[in-house]
């Protein structure tokens, strides 16, 4: 196996190892400027942000504003708002990237794969025919064709178009 050096991930790895004392990335994102935390949309109950460690370009996470670990703990209003944000995000990604499909889902609990199990979040991962090429299969390396900053600008602009706004990212 070849080694791909990604030293910027060490901060995440160290925090994830101390789950109990770990700062919630979702709650922290709501305190920081949107551009810094990669939040592409927010309202009083839910928000959407880019995943800093994406599986694919335009990998978005949608979460309730309230720090809740499981779906059944959400109010009906929060659950509905997460659905509304999902619709906005899908329209924006479709408009900007034209994917052929999506993986959409939540990992609830550590054994189910949740990296941040204390704050429920839904992953939205765009997929394209042929997006799995020889690199991950042969070299165990994923190639990301666009920077997070570029993706943020494009998706923020697309979200604003979906919402009928002309604001800049």
Phi, psi at 53, each rounded to 5°: -125, 65
Going by C-alpha positions, the residue among 149, 147, 167 that lies closest to residue 158 is: 167
Six-digit token pair at 51?
């995943």
Going by C-alpha positions, the residue among 72, 71, 63 that lies closest to residue 42 is: 63
The answer to whether 59 is a known catalytic residue is: no
Catalytic hit among 59, 100, 119, 121: 121
Distance CA 134, CA 85 (A): 34
Beta sheet of 122-127, edge-to-edge order: 39-42, 46-50, 60-64, 122-127, 101-105
Which positions are catalytic? Answer: 121
């Amino acid at each position: 196996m070849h080694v791909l050096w990604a030293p910027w991930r060490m901060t995440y790895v160290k925090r994830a190892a101390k789950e109990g004392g770990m700062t919630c990335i979702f709650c922290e994102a709501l305190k920081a400027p949107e551009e810094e935390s990669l939040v592409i949309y927010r309202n009083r109950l839910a928000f959407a942000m880019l995943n800093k460690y994406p599986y694919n370009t335009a990998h978005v996470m949608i979460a309730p504003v309230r720090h809740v670990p499981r779906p059944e703990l959400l109010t009906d209003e929060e659950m509905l708002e997460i659905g509304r944000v999902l619709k906005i995000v899908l329209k924006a990604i479709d408009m900007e990237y034209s994917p052929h499909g999506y993986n959409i889902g939540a990992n609830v609990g550590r054994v189910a794969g949740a990296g941040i199990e204390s704050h429920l979040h839904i992953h939205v991962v765009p997929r394209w025919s042929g997006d799995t090429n020889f690199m991950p299969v042969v070299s165990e390396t994923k190639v990301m064709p666009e920077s997070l900053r570029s993706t943020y600008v494009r998706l923020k602009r697309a979200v604003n178009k979906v919402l009928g706004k002309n604001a800049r990212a």
